A and B are shown apart, each in its own frame.
Chain A
Amino acid sequence: MLYALMGLGLSLITGVLNIPNFAHGALFAVGAYLLVTAVNVLGNFWIGLVVAPLGVALLGLAIEYLGVRRLYAAGHDYQLLFTFGLSLILAEAIILVWGPVGISHLPPEILRGGVDLGFTFYPKYRLFVMVVAGALVFLTWLFLEKTRYGAIMRAGIENKEMVSLLGIDIHWLFTAAFAIGAYLAGIAGALTAPIRGLSPGMGVDMLGIAFVVVALGGLGNLLGAIGAGLLIGVAQAIVAAYWTEASTAVIYAVMAAVLLVRPQGLFGIR
């Protein structure tokens, strides 16, 4: 589910803006670290969970407005270099602010411990994450499919010139898409913090996975991103149960295998 969130956000950004967002993983990491700080300062997990992703969305807004916006005319190489530079800056900033050592973070009091599901014993917090992430994916889907703004965004993926000819401010659309994508990355990071703990390298690891999800799901195909995210998550969990060391490499191996058979991705049309 977390992978689906990451993939959805990235797919939105790459689809609408047509840029390779190498800072997506860094936004994820910033979300996680902001959560920890918010919880430490405000003393409340729930407020933190609301504030941290909003902070990341603001950061995304600033990045698009101040930087990415100037680069739509430039080639992918410069866009890539820009977002890659940003991800280096954010990763180093994390080290400067929060230190190079990993931090572990406990879930809030009510969500500690496990639940007896009858057939297995499952940690409460993971259930909570699944529910929240699932709800978010559903809400995003609802927003994109059922609302006017969502329709504009999907239209932006299909044909940008037509959208701007219809009198819609395309710059606003780009900024909004980047901010929403950043928000999704941020909340995925915030939710992950209590499960896996935090380390400055967490962003890069997630970035690769997000790219795999997007590549499998099809670029700009938002439902495909959700499906691929779920698939990758399940595949990794199954492999991790038998051969823990290989679980990360397996994600990429699955991708390579799928692309051999279906170069356009699992759900890709283009």
Chain B
Amino acid sequence: MTFANAIHRLHPKKIRVSTVLIYLLLIAIAAYTLFPLAFLFVNSFKGQAAIVSSPLKLPDIWDVAYLENSMKAIHFMSSLGVTAGITLISVFVQVVASSLVAWMMVRNKSKWSFALFMAFTAAMLIPFQSVMYPLISMFDAMKLKNIPGLIIMYGGFGLSISVFLYHGFMKSVPRSIEEAALIDGASVFQIYLYVVMPLLKSTTVTVIILNGMWIWNDYLLPFLVIGNEPVKTLTLELYYAKLTSGQYGNPWEMIFPAVLISIIPIILVFLLLQKYIMKGVTASAVKE
């Protein structure tokens, strides 16, 4: 940007034309990016016939009946609660387990600690598909093919990347503060809670966002674990709604509002926390 500014001072006219062009291009791409979302919004207030015959037109009447129907069809309040619950607890488990193990691995320079770190890192290469069938069958045998089991699975799958992030950042945290706290008589949990974790706040935010986004939107794991049980996550409700409605020739008047209400919570959270989310997601990628 400073480069552009520098040239700007040298050739003010030339830059102005190209700047206008860049803005026009960016606006066009932004319109393209937003189009499917605007499209979704507009068509969530129309009946099947109007959606198919004139999907690009605004609705004649903004009828919320379709939204209400869809909310009922995907059991919105219950599935929202279930999804939020699963996401929150899983992320909490991931944060606690991965920060503790990363802390201990950084502070202990033994062979074991190195081997453990290598194991966590290598596990990032394992795709979910190559463990899913044995995992589900094991958990089924332990009577854990249910929501608590699902949370344990998320706890395990988000671990590698979270440990990796905490491990990378923990190295820059001086141990002298912990020593001082110990001499002052703090217990190990006090040191963890009041000394270590506050210094790792930004990493924690990244871990929460990264895992939270993934768990919230995940389709495969809930599909395998919960399937078509009465209590489902939002994504799963959406999948089954599409599946059953597809049998009667795709009633989009049900699908569009259902998709809309299922993404509204995420968009709200994003608009509230966009600074942290965009920073967190990029930071995590750069660490890899």
Q: Do A and B bind each other?
A: no
- Which residues of A come within 8 Å of B, CB atoms? none
